[in-house]
Amino acid sequence: MTTNSYQRAASVAIALSFAAAFGALGSADQAQAAKMGDTLDCKTTKDAVELAICADEGLKARHTEMEGLLAHAARSPRKDAPGIELDDSQKKWLSRRDRCAKSFQKTKCLTAAYNVRLAYLEAKFRPGRTKSEDWTCEGDKDKFTVTFTTGKSAFTDFVVAGREMDSGYMEWFMADSGKTSGETKQYLGESDKGSQAGVWYSPAKANFIMDRSKFGLVCRK
């Protein structure tokens, strides 16, 4: 996968609102989108996480937005573009989302989870501004190329970082946490493998915690 992978995978622009797009789908596409999105039924659910979502208007709006993006993916001829395995990735994300049931701050946990998922879906299906930079990591003398894509979902700004690794191309999808330090903003999220990640990012400066599963490895421009 090259540094232009986002542009290849994100060639479809959504002209209509997501709700309108979802309503325009055929029954087969609706079923597929519902399967991937784990459609919410607030009238019948007894699941603790779903009840928390149903009790919060912001979370319900995020879930609806996510379903709209998944519905778009289900009808898009580009849904199987390189790097997009929506059925599998959505299933894994739902499992990670449901861990918020054990959180003392379920709403905060769920909001962060949805913001990151929307960043993933937006980055895959909408063009964004992309730039590549040479970085180094602590304990590693060799420089490597990190590709950053910035964009905006319906709820927050996001940053996607990607780099070639021994195991193949890896990406990190992170949403604005609301914290700032000078010119930089903090973005938190996870990799496409599910491990936590974060970055302090601005066009001029970034200090990237590449992957928290790697002992808090800190990488710099």
Do 29 and 108 belong together in one domain? yes
Helix (H) or strand (E) holding 51: helix 48-54
Residue 145 is predicted with a pLDDT of 85
Tally the residues of the chain.
Answer: 221
Of 125, 141, 166, the domain-final residue: 125
Instruction: Please state, in angstroms and rounded to a whole number, the distance separating the CA atoms of residues 109 and 100.
Output: 6
pLDDT above 70 covers what percent of the chain?
A: 72
Answer yes or no: is pLDDT of 149 > 70: yes
pTM: 0.77
Do 64 and 140 belong together in one domain? no
Do 115 and 155 belong together in one domain? no
Answer yes or no: is pLDDT of 164 > 90: no
Give the angle subtended at the CA of 191 by the CAs of 142 and 198, to the nearest 5°: 75
Do 36 and 142 belong together in one domain? no
Q: The tokens 């879930």 sit on which residue?
A: 63
- Structurally, the chain folds into a number of domains equal to 2
Do 60 and 109 belong together in one domain? yes
**Is residue 34 very low, low, confident or very high in pLDDT (cuts 50, 70, 90)?**
low
Instruction: Please state, in angstroms and rounded to a whole number, the distance separating the CA atoms of residues 37 and 120.
Output: 14
Answer yes or no: is pLDDT of 185 > 50: yes
> Residues 37-55: pLDDT tens digits?
567 888 998 889 999 999 9
Residue 35 is predicted with a pLDDT of 53
Average pLDDT, the chain: 76
**Is residue 114 very low, low, confident or very high in pLDDT (cuts 50, 70, 90)?**
very high
Residue 189 is predicted with a pLDDT of 92
Q: The tokens 């209509």 sit on which residue?
A: 16
Do 30 and 100 belong together in one domain? yes
What is the span of the domain harbouring residue 155? 129-220
Beta-bridged to residue 161, according to DSSP, are 148, 172
Mean pLDDT of 103-120: 94
Residue 148 is predicted with a pLDDT of 87
Interior/surface letters 113-127, b for 16+ CB within 10 angstroms, e for the rest: bbbbbbbbbbbbbbe
Residue 125 is predicted with a pLDDT of 73
Do 148 and 118 belong together in one domain? no
Residue 142 is predicted with a pLDDT of 76
Do 165 and 113 belong together in one domain? no
Do 69 and 158 belong together in one domain? no
Pair type for strands 217-220 and 129-137: antiparallel
Answer yes or no: is pLDDT of 6 > 50: no
Do 153 and 195 belong together in one domain? yes
Of 110, 125, 140, the domain-final residue: 125
> Residues 122-145: pLDDT tens digits?
887 765 677 888 887 776 777 888
Answer yes or no: is pLDDT of 147 > 80: yes
What is the CB neighbour count within 10 angstroms for residue 13?
8
Token couple for 1: 């996968």
Of 100, 125, 150, the domain-final residue: 125
Do 145 and 64 belong together in one domain? no
Do 211 and 174 belong together in one domain? yes
